[in-house]
Amino acid sequence: MRPLAAIVSGLAVAALAAAGGYWLGSRGAASPAADSGGSVASTTGETSAAGRKEPRILYYRNPMGLPDTSPVPKKDSMGMDYIPVREGEDDADPAAARQLRISTEKVQKLGVRSEAVQLRALDRTLRAAGRIEPDERRVHAIAPRFEGYVERLYVNVSGQPVARGQPLFEVYSPELVAAQREYAIAAQGVESLHDGSDSARSGMQELAAASLSRLRNWGVAEDQLAALARSGDARRTISFRSPVAGIVTEKKAVQGMRFMPGETLYQVTDLSSVWVIADVFEQDIALVRTGGKARVTINAHPGKHFEGVVAYVYPTLNAETRTVPVRIELANPGLLLKPSMFAQVELPLAARAAVPSVPVSAVIDSGTRQIVLIRQAEGRFEPRAVRLGVRSDDYVEVLAGVSEGEQVVVAANFLIDAESNLRAAVAGLGPTADGAAGKASERGDGGRPANKGAGHRGEGTVDSVDAPAATVTLRHGPIDSLKWPAMTMPFKLANQSLLQGLQPGGRIAFDFVERQPGEWVITAHRPLPAGQDAGAAAATGNPHAGH
């Protein structure tokens, strides 16, 4: 039995020695690889205990949220370490950090619709207010050139239509009667001296011609002069006729009145063609060209359009309204257009070339700048500031800010903008009833860190209060939404009422936002129960506390 036991014991020892040698050999072979792997990990990222490689560090960002990055580790002016931004994080791409994120379901409910930026020839229509005025070249004044009396009126009301050559009134003038008799005597003298000497006959003819010329210069009609020459009898009164067909727009003549030479007794206006004087704003006047087409509408005849032509651009500017008068001539069939009516004028302006343009509905105008929302991906929208050019009825030229082919939101863009602003506003209202909304606003949509401009929360101890400046210095704990460590820093207060309840040494929970780069503003705060101050405790061990 002993030899058999010795053999078994020897086999066991040999097996243990072989196993031990294999284990030592495996360990020695793995050591170089491990050293090599550690060398690689030091350049590409850290390796976790489970063997997974940490994401690569892309750059380091400012811990206070300022637009400042560094390719290597560094500290800011307060001595705080810059925060590493790793591959795959939300703020790894600065452009992605500026995007608005809305769930696909909400995008469908809002009715978001986008359209590509395209090259278009923008046919623009310039609109202006105007007024109807008579054509100044068609206004005629009837003013006798001699002194006399109104003997009889044929047209005795203003506004009455008259035909060309229609008698308006009769006048009596001693000077006119004397001139007629002088002409009649001269005409008879020419006849009587038919057989006389040439000099006598020539003198009489000159006298007759002078008398006739005087009557013509006084405005006596040719048919009346012919009747005078035939009969030789001077008429006591003479009629004045309308020189054009039109409307009596002014009547000063009264039966029996005395008038002086050059005094206007009637004014007759031909309204078959009228002017529209449009007031074009100063910045648009360079686009108006003489000879261009114009379309006129008036409230008295809705739905009816009158076509005209730009006849003249006045060389003067109205300093009060900053407008330039533009004259438009148009026909007036049926005398529908009446002087002093208000008119709406449209001046079509042909486009010069195709330009990048977006629908007018795509532009959100805040009064100080114009932005559009670019659809980057499903549920992601990037606000983009743009510089605009000329406008048409439906589209507007984009001079800078977008490129051809990019998708811009043309419907529900104001709702998207309101959604993003509402999210930031809710964050500053304090805790919600169930805490879920506050958590969502603190982390942003989908649990990601909140974007710049969104609300943040923290806890800390009041270090000092500057009431006149409405600022408070806090020793706060870490702020996860901004990846801030615990530290001591000043905050502004949104309003003076927030000074209530702030006492040095008091513990508070506070909500704050970034109003401007580097300017952090507390929008709400509430006291915390007495006890250990987590923010103060963390700040005690923080090398940057007190900066």
Domain that holds residue 230: 144-263
Among residues 215, 240, 263, which one ends one of the domains?
263
**Residue 425 belongs to a domain:** no
| Beta-strand pair 293-297/306-313 | antiparallel
Spell out the residues 6+ positions from residue 205 whose beta carbon is closer than 8 angstroms to its own. Answer: 190
Q: Average pLDDT, stretch 194-213?
A: 75
Task: Give the pLDDT band of residue 225 (cuts 50, 70, 90).
Answer: confident
Q: What is the pLDDT of residue 536?
A: 44
Burial class, 487, CB count within 10 angstroms (exposed 0-12 / middle 13-18 / buried 19+): buried
Backbone angles phi, psi at 404, to 5 degrees: -60, 135
289 and 384 fall within a common domain? no
Question: Could you tell me if 317 and 414 lie in one domain?
Answer: no
Domain identity same for 337 and 232: no
- 3-class SS of residue 418: helix
Per-residue pLDDT at 119 exceeds 50: yes
Q: Quick check: 444 pLDDT over 90?
A: no
Task: Say yes or no: 391 and 480 in one domain.
Answer: no
- Choose the weakest-confidence range: 78-87, 250-259, 352-361, 483-492: 78-87
102 belongs to a structural domain: no
Look at residue 301 and tell me if it is in a domain. yes
Ranked by mean pLDDT, which of 26-30, 117-121, 197-201, 400-404 comes out on top?
400-404
Same domain, 248 and 151: yes
CATH code for the domain in which residue 333 is found: 2.40.30.170
CATH of residue 458's domain is 2.40.50.320
Tokens of 209: 């011609």
Residue 138 included in any domain: no
Residue type, 112: V
Residues 158 and 258 in one domain: yes
Q: Give a yes or no: residue 533 inside a domain.
A: yes
Task: State which of 349, 371, 399 marks the end of a domain.
Answer: 349
What is the chain's mean pLDDT, rounded?
75
494 is a domain residue: yes
Residue 1: per-residue pLDDT: 41
Residues 164, 222: one domain? Answer: yes
Q: Cα(121)–Cα(158) distance, rounded to whole angstroms?
A: 52
Q: Is the pLDDT of residue 449 over 70?
A: no
Q: How many residues does the chain have?
A: 547
Same domain as 258, residue 163: yes
Give me the sheet containing 57-61, strands edge to edge.
69-70, 57-61, 83-86
The model carries a pTM of: 0.49
Query: Are the beta carbons of 303 and 312 closer than 8 angstroms?
Result: no
In a domain, residue 452? The reply is yes
> Residue 355: enclosing H or E segment and its boundaries?
strand 354-359
pLDDT band at 500 (very low <50, low <70, confident <90, very high): confident
Are 322 and 389 in the same domain?
A: no
Classify residue 105: in a domain, yes or no.
no
Residue 398: exposure state from Cβ atoms within 10 A (0-12, 13-18, ≥19): buried
Residue 357 sits in a domain whose CATH number is 2.40.420.20
CA distances for 196 relative to 120, 133, 191, 202, angstroms: 90, 61, 10, 10
Residues 155 and 254 grouped into a single domain: yes
Query: Would you say residue 97 has pLDDT above 70?
Result: no
pLDDT at position 213 is 81
Angle (CA) 197 200 205, round 5°:
120
Residues 447 and 536 in one domain: yes
Same domain, 251 and 219: yes
Whether the CB-CB separation of 179 and 212 falls below 8 Å is answered with no
Q: How many domains would you assign to the chain?
A: 6
